[in-house]
Chain A
Amino acid sequence: MILNCKDLTHREINKIIRNAIENGEKELVMNNINGQGYLFAGIKSDIRAIINGVPGNDLGGMMDGPNIFVNANIQDCVGNTMNGGKIVIHGDAGDILGYAMRGGRIFVKGKVGYRCGIHMKAFEDKIPVIVIGEDAGDFLGEYMASGIIVVLCKNKSKFDSDYIGVGMHGGAIYLRGEVDERNLGKGVEILPLDEWDVNFLTEVLKEYSSDMNTNEKYDISSFIKLSPLNSRPFQNLYSY
């Protein structure tokens, strides 16, 4: 189904999406998107959507299942509290991407803004994954409880954003390149990759390249892993 979204409000578009899903539609092409927010909010379906144009904030917020391909840049709060599905962005993304996401994957071709992947979680067989092509702003993976963030640091040899993984108590951040210890949040440790990491990165980067329509291969040995020293950072704050 091809949808011309010119002059439609986000509410109208979401209504069309919900109806299309009810009618068994499997693929949507959404043209002329221009700043409409909250698209696919709370939608539980395996529908595939191609978005042409720049969507507004909160794309895929609380959604569970859709596969969304965005052929443009994107604004803030992509995949807020998302439970499952995939968002592929052929451009840059704004702040707070993947806040509290519990499952699914978000792939970004370019950069993301501040506070990406805050408080990511995992649940049973769900492990949320964010892969960023170029760079991420400060507070990457703050409060991370679980899940995985990969930054490919293209056009960059050193990852130099501040406060990486502040308050992190689970999950992992993989960086391709170096990082100074002073950029890390308290309690975050640089670790070598183990076998699970190598297998995981190989699998996820293959999927990333395929979604980005490239044959690019990455040297897994050039990655470092950041993980919290302690899964209970708040343990010794209190006296009973």
Chain B
Amino acid sequence: MSKIIPEFIVKKNEDKCINCKVCVRQCSEEVYKYFEDFDLIRIYDDKCVGCHRCDLMCPTDALTITKNNSQYKENSHWDNYTIKSIKKQAETGGMILTGSGNDKPYTSYWDRILLDASQVTNPAIDPIREPMELRTYLGKKSDKLSIKEENGEIFLETELSPQLKIETPIMFSAMSYGSISLNTCESLASAASKLGTFYNTGEGGLHKKLYKYGKNTIGQVASGRFGVHTDYLNACAAIEIKIGQGAKPGIGGHLPGEKVTVEISQTRMMPPGTDAISPAPHHDIYSIEDLKQLIALIKEATDYEKPVLVKIAAVHNSAAIASGIARAGADVIVIDGFRGGTGAAPSVIRDNTGIPIEVALAVIDQRLRDESIRNDVSIVAAGGIRSSADAVKAIALGADAVYIGTAALVAMGCTLCQKCYKGKCNWGLTTQDPVLTRRLNPAIGSQNLVNLVNSWSLEIKEIIGSMGINAIEALRGNRYRLRGIGLSDVESDILGIEHAGM
């Protein structure tokens, strides 16, 4: 490929450098090359992806990675990314791939929503001295309970739907073994079990080593049906049918054959070295009625013991689709907003398709309420949840819980260089290279995740306490505790929240 202007400049401070070559060994992108004959480390700036592995590992802090200010002439219409993409495509004829979530400067409604707090008339609650309830149950709730008395004994007549009990309304979203390493999967699984929440296998099946975490596992069934068999269905606590993903609505998945190692092939139950292709739609689902059929099949195959989740990407008519999903018998609807992450997606799709989760969530919750079917399903919001504040706002907009993916990866070391699709992740997360995967110790990864979720849980308690609420369920769909800032009338209307000052 002809030369492109490097995105980053790598500077080595020769006064500090002790020539230990840690940078050479750490960088899988081969930015550093050591020439023994000259005892010299040469730096190739153009290969740098900006992941900061080298400078953070450098024992003498001799390295600095900076943005390359020498770019094409500034142009607010033809920005550098656009020019570089055109040049790349002119040479290769292929679609530009990208990883992680949409990074374009679209409006973030989370940043335009403010939370309410109690003053004088209703006292705030101090979570340190009063019990606060974050426990949440996901699943269909019965409209009424019928009780029967027989021979002096009392029986519950209503058949209750299976529920997922989570100790905090935060779960780890779907990331498959294949897109992430086994150590990363294990970190998520063990953290979920310590936290009393769930992680999600994604479409990669369930590795033998992870069966022991089954009680905290949501198993995914996607269009490729990889690794889906009876033991898998029985091992997982719930099954999620993946229809779409926020980062790539309407797009299937494709794990290139190079990444399908023997171990991955066994987990996905396919021949090693062949492409793992997930078609864009499930070819047995072309309608809500067909979806209903797959939900019924899964329930039948698991003897009605497990909740079935259906995950869709947030798109223009999500509300109507969600209504259909609720009526098709799903226990939980997962909505993935356009900021949601991915291991690999064409950048044109990731950057231009879908709608914000805040908007989708608000309209779906409202639609289900209007149709009096909101209690038939739980709602899980996903796609770019960055903090406990985002999670609280999501719950007040109508979610029962949130999924976090990117935030979980960041907790394990990710620096959002967005090159997951290359399979060379220097932090050992989105790679299968044994040299790189060793960089994440599952015990440490798991502890970092536990710490992250525990801190968010503390913050959520603090926030709801400040509102005078002592149980998270009292905040669910409670949009009165939200106010908009800088929103137009249309935006306030869609989000169902008043403007600040009202």
By a beta-carbon cutoff of 8 Å, the part of chain A in contact with chain B is 10-11, 14, 18, 37-38, 41-44, 57-58, 61-64, 76-77, 80-81, 83, 96, 99-100, 102, 115, 118-119, 121-123, 142-143, 145-146, 167, 169-170, 231-240
Query: Do A235 and B271 touch across chains, with their CB atoms under 8 A apart?
Result: no
Q: How far is the CB of A149 from chain B (nearest CB, A)?
A: 15
Query: Do A64 and B229 touch across chains, with their CB atoms under 8 A apart?
Result: yes
B90-98, B367-375, B431-439: which lies at the interface: B90-98
B150-158, B276-284, B464-472: which lies at the interface: B276-284
A10 CA to B298 CA, complexed, in Å = 13
Query: Do B233 and A62 touch across chains, with their CB atoms under 8 A apart?
Result: yes
Query: Do A237 and B296 touch across chains, with their CB atoms under 8 A apart?
Result: no
A18 CA to B230 CA, complexed, in Å = 14
Which residue in B269, B275, B422 is a CB contact (below 8 Å) of A234? Answer: B275
Query: Do B229 and A83 touch across chains, with their CB atoms under 8 A apart?
Result: yes
Q: Is B261 an interface residue (CB 8 A)?
A: no
Query: Do A145 and B229 touch across chains, with their CB atoms under 8 A apart?
Result: no
Give B283's nearest chain A residue, CB to CB.
Answer: A118
Query: Do B274 and A231 touch across chains, with their CB atoms under 8 A apart?
Result: yes
Query: Do A239 and B230 touch across chains, with their CB atoms under 8 A apart?
Result: no
Query: For A44, what are the chain B residues with a Cβ–Cβ distance below 8 Å?
Result: 230
Contact with A along B231-266 (1 / 0, CB 8 A): 001000000000000000000001011000000000
Query: Do B301 and A41 touch across chains, with their CB atoms under 8 A apart?
Result: yes
Which residue in A42, A99, A239 is a CB contact (below 8 Å) of B96? Answer: A239
Query: For B293, what are the chain A residues with a Cβ–Cβ distance below 8 Å?
Result: 37, 57-58, 77
Give A95's nearest chain B residue, CB to CB.
Answer: B284
Query: For B95, what are the chain A residues with a Cβ–Cβ distance below 8 Å?
Result: 237-239
Query: For B279, what are the chain A residues with a Cβ–Cβ distance below 8 Å?
Result: 118-119, 143, 167
Taking A121-B225, A142-B283, A235-B256 as given, write out 4 further A-B residue pairs in contact, using a Cβ cutoff of 8 Å, ordered by the A residue number. A62-B233, A119-B224, A121-B269, A238-B346
Query: Do B269 and A238 touch across chains, with their CB atoms under 8 A apart?
Result: no
Query: For A122, what are the chain B residues with a Cβ–Cβ distance below 8 Å?
Result: 270-271
Query: Do B225 and A119 touch across chains, with their CB atoms under 8 A apart?
Result: yes
**B interface size (C-beta, 8 A):** 41
Query: Do A61 and B301 touch across chains, with their CB atoms under 8 A apart?
Result: yes
A37 CA to B223 CA, complexed, in Å = 21
Query: For B283, what are the chain A residues with a Cβ–Cβ distance below 8 Å?
Result: 96, 99, 115, 118-119, 142-143
Give B223's nearest chain A residue, CB to CB.
Answer: A119
Query: Do B269 and A42 touch across chains, with their CB atoms under 8 A apart?
Result: no
Contact with A along B384-409 (1 / 0, CB 8 A): 00000000000000000000000000
Query: Do A42 and B300 touch across chains, with their CB atoms under 8 A apart?
Result: yes
Q: Which of B89-114 contact A (CB under 8 A)?
A: 89, 91-97
A236 CA to B92 CA, complexed, in Å = 9
Q: How far is the CB of B222 from chain A (nearest CB, A)?
A: 10
Query: Do B270 and A146 touch across chains, with their CB atoms under 8 A apart?
Result: yes
Q: How far is the CB of A64 from chain B (nearest CB, A)?
A: 5
Query: Do B225 and A81 touch across chains, with their CB atoms under 8 A apart?
Result: yes
Query: For A142, what are the chain B residues with a Cβ–Cβ distance below 8 Å?
Result: 283
Q: Is B88 an interface residue (CB 8 A)?
A: yes
Q: Which 9 pairs show the lowest CB-CB distances between chains A and B?
A: A42-B301, A239-B94, A239-B92, A100-B225, A41-B300, A38-B300, A41-B301, A123-B269, A61-B297
Q: How far is the CB of A225 from chain B (nearest CB, A)?
A: 19
A121 CA to B277 CA, complexed, in Å = 11
